Chain A
Amino acid sequence: MKTLIIVPAYNEEQNLPGVIQDLRTHMPEAEILIVNDGSSDNTEEAAIKEGALLCSLPLNTGIGSAVQTGYIYAARNGFECAVQFDGDGQHMAAHIAALTGPIKDGLADLTVGSRFMENSGYRAPLTRKVGIGIFAAFLSLICQQRLTDTTSGFRALGKRAILTFARHYPDDYPEVEALVMAKKKGLVIRELPVSMRQRSAGRSSITPLLSAYYMIKVMLAIIIRLSKR
């Protein structure tokens, strides 16, 4: 199954080499595409040094746009599976096979790696946990299936999902809205338990205040999206 691993990266010069090694170790047959979202540090140089395929966006347009660029590339180059894998080193490449399995077997269109299905020892600040919990409850209700980690960016997509998101993909906390979009398009969503590492170097670009703002914005977007069509 022709697989593309999309690695969105914003100022991850320190984490990127480790991420690429991790991917090459566990997924040697897959194509790796680094999407540099207008980084101001040496993320681009780090990617070139590792010899990875690099899509450098000249301006910072956000995670939604960066990931969508990867999906567009996947759609244009006939990939049957696309994996979204964070450039900060929190995701573990060893889990990718578990996520792509259901795609390969045609059991799901979109698989999500959840930190909260089993006790994976993931520690997050309280505000983050509360936010994730609220979204999970809200989305579980909307999608009529049990969802535990709706903000997880660790996902695998089949062809149908790739084409859907290559056309339209949300900005700002896109992971949550994307699930609603997928459900509306009749795509099959499956969650699988994974564990993730804590962020090792650099800072997350989301502060608690920004978190609250995004939460409200996404809730609004979801409600509006639900009322359409």
Chain B
Amino acid sequence: MGFLEIVAFCASTAIITAVIFLIRSGRLHERYALPWLLSSAVLLTLSLGRGLLDGLARSVGIYYPPSLLFLGGFVFLLLLLLHFSVVISDLKRRNRRLTQELGLLGVELQKLRKTVESGKSEADRAGQ
């Protein structure tokens, strides 16, 4: 195996290990782990057989095989970022709803306090 293949093999094994560790410790949701595991598996397979990558690149019409890897990685990251934008938009929306409801609860609390206080002062005035 060439130097590049060894690096790729180690990198993909490291990512798979890290992802599994993060899932087990509850810091990564399985749903977000899937794309990482999938791409790591692809990288792992390609690193074990240089011929695979060369054949794939030639069939698509790319002269320098690692360019195919870069292209794949780039597209993967693009899709991942789009996915994150969607997730962030949703989080922002939920955040806003929660903030609003908290504020509205505060108003009810304020009104409740006023009612209790005026009720107490009326009892005082009526004389116990």
Contacts and interface: CB of A to CB of B under 8 A. Distances in A.
Interface string B91-121: 0000110011011101100110000000000
A130 to B, nearest CB: 30
Interface in A34-61: 35-36, 38, 53-59, 61
A57 B95 CA distance: 11
Interface stretch (A65-73, A148-156, A198-206): A65-73
A188 B31 CA distance: 46
Contacts of B107: 33, 53-55, 73
A37 B37 CA distance: 42
A65 B103 CA distance: 11
A72 B104 contact: yes
Contacts of B106: 54-56
Interface string A52-94: 0111111101000100110011001000000000000000000
A68 B103 CA distance: 12
Contacts of A59: 95, 99
Contact of A73 (B95, B96, B104): B104
B103 A56 contact: yes
A6 to B, nearest CB: 12
A69 B96 CA distance: 10
A2 to B, nearest CB: 15
Contacts of B103: 35-36, 55-58, 69
Nearest to A76: B104
A55 B104 contact: yes
Contacts of A36: 103
B110 A54 contact: yes
A57 B111 contact: no
A67 to B, nearest CB: 11
A76 B95 CA distance: 21
Contacts of A61: 95-96, 99-100
A60 B111 CA distance: 23
Nearest to B97: A65
A151 to B, nearest CB: 21
- Most B CB atoms within 10 A — which of A38, A57, A58, A72? A57
A57 B107 CA distance: 10
A36 B104 CA distance: 11
B110 A72 contact: no
Contacts of B99: 38, 57-59, 61, 65
A76 B96 CA distance: 18
Contacts of B102: 57-58
A36 B106 CA distance: 11
5 contacts: A55-B103, A57-B99, A57-B102, A58-B103, A65-B100
Interface of B: 95-96, 99-100, 102-104, 106-107, 110-111
Which 5 A/B pairs are nearest by Cβ-Cβ distance? A57-B103, A55-B103, A69-B100, A55-B107, A59-B99
Interface of A: 33, 35-36, 38, 53-59, 61, 65, 68-69, 72-73, 76
